[in-house]
Amino acid sequence: MKKLFLTGFEPFLDYHVNPTWDIVEKLNGTVIGDYKIVSKGLKVDFKDGIEEFKQALEDIKPDMIISLGIAAGRHKVTPERIAINIKDGDADNQGYQPIDELIDEEGPDAYLTNLPIRAMVNRLLNEGYPAEISNSAGTYLCNNVMYEGLKYATKHNILAGFIHIPMNFELACKHGKYPGWSNHDLLSAVKICLEEAINAT
Ligand code: PCA
């Protein structure tokens, strides 16, 4: 059976929970079509988190890679189109804050996802979930994981990409000014994206 490597992230900054961590735990071992989901929660850490992700790719040898993260303030599920070769932004969970750094000194400026992001968005909309393609995954950990996933995918000729999801209700209640979705709807929307990705192979 083929392996779909699905990653989420731990809590970070003042986001005390991260719904992507629970979603990937829940989906670990699930079979969709010819694919078995192999999940991992990642550290929000530019050094160890990214190293662990790269090591997991070598260990698991996935046939597809989909990574998840929350995007505070977004009210739609947003499959990402592009990962750029830049690390910049807030401090990670170790306090490390890159400024204008390259992810890969020898790497391309950017990678475009080869996931069927238009089909994902269309299917989400058809099923009543607000969704749109995003043209920026930012310059924080999510962009970094997407970039490394696509670097591996390019080398191994597999599909890879990243989906940002909104906060859940728990985070939205704490923060007050950000939109949120129920955990149930977030999980259903992610499953739809995985199905569309698998249908495309
Ligand atoms: N979102 C952050 C990192 C972890 C997460 O869930 C981001 O968008 O980079």
Unique residue bearing structure tokens 């990705």? 197
Cβ burial 51-79 (10 Å sphere, 16+ → b, else e)? ebbeebbeeeebbbbbbbbbbbebebbbb
Q: Is the CB of 142 under 6 A from ligand 1?
A: yes
Ligand 1, atom nearest to 144 Cα = 9
Specify the pLDDT at position 175.
94
Specify the pLDDT at position 105.
98
Closest-CA residue, ligand 1 atom 8, reads 142
Query: What residues form DSSP beta bridges with 138?
Result: none
List of residues 6+ apart from 44 with CB closer than 8 A: 9, 10, 11, 12, 92, 93, 141
Q: How far is the CA of 147 from the centre of ligand 1 (A)?
A: 13
Q: Is the CB of 144 under 6 A from ligand 1?
A: no
Superfamily of domain 2-199: Peptidase C15, pyroglutamyl peptidase I-like (3.40.630.20)
Specify the pLDDT at position 56.
98
Report CA 126 to chain centroid distance, whole Å: 22
Q: What is the pTM of this model?
A: 0.98
Query: In angstroms, rounded to a whole number, what is the distance separating the alpha carbons of residues 97 and 199?
Result: 39
Specify the pLDDT at position 91.
98
* Residue numbers in the chain where pLDDT is lower than 50: none
Specify the pLDDT at position 12.
98
Question: Taking the domains of the chain in order of start, what are their residue ranges?
Answer: 2-199
Backbone φ and ψ for 66, nearest 5 degrees, come out as: -130, 125
